[in-house]
Structure formats: C-alpha cells, structure tokens
Amino acid sequence: MDWDLWCRLAARGAKFTYLRAPLAAVRCYPETKTLSGDQRRYREIWRIGRKYGGRLLPVSWLGFYRYDLSFRPEKTGVEKLLFNGLEKARRVKKRLFNETQETLYGFYRWSSRVDGQCVIQLPWYGDRKPQKMVFEVSPENAGYRVIVNSAGEVLYQADGGLVSIMMPETMPEAHLHIRMTCLQRRQWELRRFSFYGN
C-alpha cells in the first residue's frame, strides 16, 4: 500500500515537497482495493495507523470509512446514519482545528464541489479516442464554458444536468487537459464524467 511506503520514508527522515503537476493517474472503479470497502483494506489501515501513528485507536480508519460511504450511490439506513454522523464530526473537527477549505485544481478536497474553474488532466494512451464526453453537473440547466487541450473555449448549455462535448478530431497531446467553468454560479458541482464512442 502506498501509505505504508510514505510512512516508512517519513520515519526515516525523508522530506516531501508538493508539486503542482500531474505525475501519475489512478483509475477508480467499484472493484478497486480503495473503493471496494474490503475488510483486508481496513485491517491494513488499522495496522499502519497503529504502527506509525502510535495510537491505540487510529482515527484515520473513520475517515476512510466516511470516504468509502461517500462513493456508495445506494446506502442502507444504518449507512446513511453513520455517514451523516461522520460528516458532522468532520465539520466540527475542521472548525476546532481551523482547517481552511482549500481547493486543488478548483475542486474542494474529497468533494465534487468546484470553486470557479476546475481543471481535469487525464493521460491518454493508444489510438482509441472517444467521440464525446458527458459531464454530470449542477446547476442542472446552467451554461458552461469548456476548453479541451489548446482548442478555443466553447459554450455549452446543460440539459437536465448533463453537458455533452464532442471531442476534437485530432488530439496530438499525450493527455487531455480540460478547463470548465459555470457561467451562472461560482460555486457549482462536477459530479462525474464519462467517455462514449470508439
């Protein structure tokens, strides 16, 4: 697990610097170890938290559980109660420790909420190129400005919460660089996006 590696490096005195550039890509889907909610993952988180954090009860375990629940589209009644409780606890913790709501590429951390413009960077491999991208957004019937790679900006009107974008014929760059802005509101949501075609 990556977390174990970073903890071992930090324990040996490694110094880390944040680079504001994409260095790797992660594919998220329900069967991944991260999103599966598998018991092995929780045991590993518990072990690492105890070993490197020196705590009898690693609080990071609760944060991971809240994160997992946030990705479940259909929650049981108990899961809804637990998720709401963990969300409230998280807000209280942020107030107590005066944690700021910083954004990364326009996104609030661990959220689909955007402040102003968001930037999405995706590596692109092989010759297969999609014909269109579909973004699920809120507000659902607002206008959006989108720039894909170095092409000029295009204005789109969301229809029922969806913005459909035809992909450029040629994409010489090795990755997609997408900038998106809601024209009506500074605070908005990019809930998910998908590729369709070829």
pLDDT values of the chain reduced to their tens digit, one per residue, 198 residues = 577 888 889 889 999 887 777 677 666 666 666 666 567 878 888 888 888 887 777 777 888 888 788 877 788 999 999 999 998 988 888 778 766 667 778 888 778 899 999 999 887 766 667 788 899 999 999 999 999 887 788 999 999 999 999 877 666 566 788 999 999 999 999 998 888 875
Residue 121, Cβ neighbours under 10 Å: how many? 13
Single-letter amino acid, residue 129? K
**Tokens 């990755």 belong to which residue?**
175
Provide the pLDDT for residue 98.
67
Residue among 111, 122, 83, 110 nearest 187 (CA): 111
* CA distance linking residue 141 with residue 179, whole number of Å: 19
Single-letter amino acid, residue 109? R
- For residue 103, give every residue at least 6 positions away whose Cβ sits within 8 Å of its Cβ, in sequence order, or none: 109, 114, 115
